[in-house]
Amino acid sequence: MKAAVLYKDRTDLKIEDWKSKSPGPGEVKVRVHSCGVCGSDVHITVHKIMSLKEYPRIPGHEASGVVAEVGEGVTDFADGQRVVIAAGFSCGDCPACGRQRENACEGTGVFGFERDGAYAEEVIVPARCLVSLPDEIPFDQGAIMADAVSTPYHALKYAGRMEAGEVVAVFGCGGLGIHAVLLAKALGAGKVVAIDVDDGALQNAAAFGADDILNVRDMKHVGKTLKEKTGGVDIVLEFSGHYGNVEQSLRAMNPLGRIVMVGIGRGKITLQLPLQITSRQISLIGSFGSDMRAIPDLMQLFLDKKLDLSRSITSHHPLEELNDCLENLHHRNGNPIRYIIEPGS
């Protein structure tokens, strides 16, 4: 099969022939139709700020396709069935997995990082990582549900426990944050404010339904301004990885507000207003990826005509154009949201 392979020198991904394998017990081979290009893929290739434990590795963790072969013991899927592959995998045996909280599993990992992913014509995954994809949902929209949409959905719905009518502020409007804006509106938020330092990202947020946008590039008093714009925030979703946003958010929170941290950065969190957390009963919550509840929920929102991801798809590309897509995403050329790789095209 044809695959995009990352070697330890971390130069461009090499498009080359790779040995096709058969699935083992409990596994399924999927013929990949669509795979989204994610910012974390840029981190391990162009940015080189993240390294993997093992090389060579085939990246790609936002995928949909068709079942090509099932391994021993697999009864829930059959050849030719349309599927979405969850971005992450888990052990399948621990208490967290038993409660469908796979992202809390000690053995959790991400396709394309801890095992080979979907920038290839075929990928082998545990059957428990698959969700059947209804015919009504296009492959490209199904693919990005695996991470770009499920991660902010989990942060908003399960970690943040958003209720209809609440005020939501989204820090960082890249591939995850932009979908948080879209989902907050779909779930009935009373007001959504999008916050970023990039005008292009904020333009996307406005197009996706943000009630207000806020460029904080040169702003000194972000929390005070956010409070003035909203009258008070119930949920903050932090996708940028700039931890100073946590401190700033405290100045804008309503009582019982929730600050949900999703973005990963390298700085420190300072809390100059710890009394705010106690007296106003503010929760600081971490949210990592999603679990297997999210993708079926998102599919139902699509089928109920409450979620349309067609505007998220910037363009479609063959595997040979993957390196160009990674560079363009890094430089934000054309203000992209999600490039889609179609390995079989």
Task: Give residue 41's pLDDT band: very low, low, confident or very high (50, 70, 90).
Answer: very high
Asked whether the beta carbons of 180 and 205 are under 8 A apart, the reply is: no
Q: What separation in angstroms does the CA of 161 have from each of 95, 143, 212, 215, 260? A: 22, 25, 22, 26, 10
- The predicted model gives 311-326 an average pLDDT of 97
- Is the model's pLDDT at 10 over the cut of 80? no
Are 84 and 69 spatial neighbours (Cβ–Cβ below 8 Å)? no
What would the pLDDT profile of 84-104 be if each residue is shown by its tens digit? 999 999 998 999 998 888 999
What confidence category does residue 243 fall into, taking pLDDT thresholds of 50, 70 and 90? confident
Q: 344: which 2 tokens?
A: 């079989």
Q: How many whole angstroms separate alpha carbon 36 and alpha carbon 65?
A: 12
Q: How confident is the model at residue 47 (pLDDT cuts 50, 70, 90)?
A: confident
- DSSP assignment of 131-187 equals EE--TTS-HHHHHHIIIIIHHHHIIIIIIS---TT-EEEEE--STTHHHHHHHHHHT
Predicted pLDDT of residue 241:
86
The answer for 274, left when phi > 0, alpha when psi is -120 to 50, beta otherwise, is alpha
pLDDT, position 329 = 94
The residue-averaged pLDDT of 280-307 equals 95
pTM of the model: 0.94
What H or E segment, with its residue span, contains residue 201?
helix 199-207
Q: What angle do CA 150, 154, 159 make, to 5 degrees?
A: 170
Per DSSP bridges, beta strands 122-126 and 130-132 are unpaired
- Two tokens, residue 17: 């022939």
Distance CA 344, CA 2 (A): 8
Mean local confidence (pLDDT), 114-135: 97
The continuous run of DSSP H or E covering 299 comes out as helix 294-303
Between 72 and 10, the more confident residue is: 72
pLDDT of residue 28: 98
Of 118-122, 137-141, 259-263, the range with the lowest mean pLDDT is 259-263
Map out the domains of the chain with their CATH numbers. 2-149+290-341 (3.90.180.10), 161-286 (3.40.50.720)
Q: How far is CA 89 from CA 63, 130, 268, in A?
A: 13, 10, 29
Structure-block tokens of residue 20? 């096709």
* Average pLDDT score over residue span 333-342: 94
- CA–CA dist 102, 220 (Å, integer): 39
How far, in Å, are 87, 89, 103 from residue 125 at the CA level? 10, 8, 16
Peptide bond into 274 cis (omega under 30): no
Task: Give the per-residue pLDDT at 345.
Answer: 74
Assign 25 to helix, strand or coil: coil
Q: Which helix or strand (DSSP H or E) is residue 204 part of?
A: helix 199-207
Whether the Cβ atoms of residue 85 and residue 125 lie closer than 8 Å to each other: yes
Q: Which of 63-72, 122-131, 156-165, 266-275 has the lowest mean pLDDT?
A: 266-275
CA 304 to chain centre: 22
How confident is the model over 71-90, as a mean pLDDT? Answer: 96
- Residue 141: pLDDT band (50, 70, 90) is very high
**Dihedral of alpha carbons 328, 312, 252, 281, sign:** negative
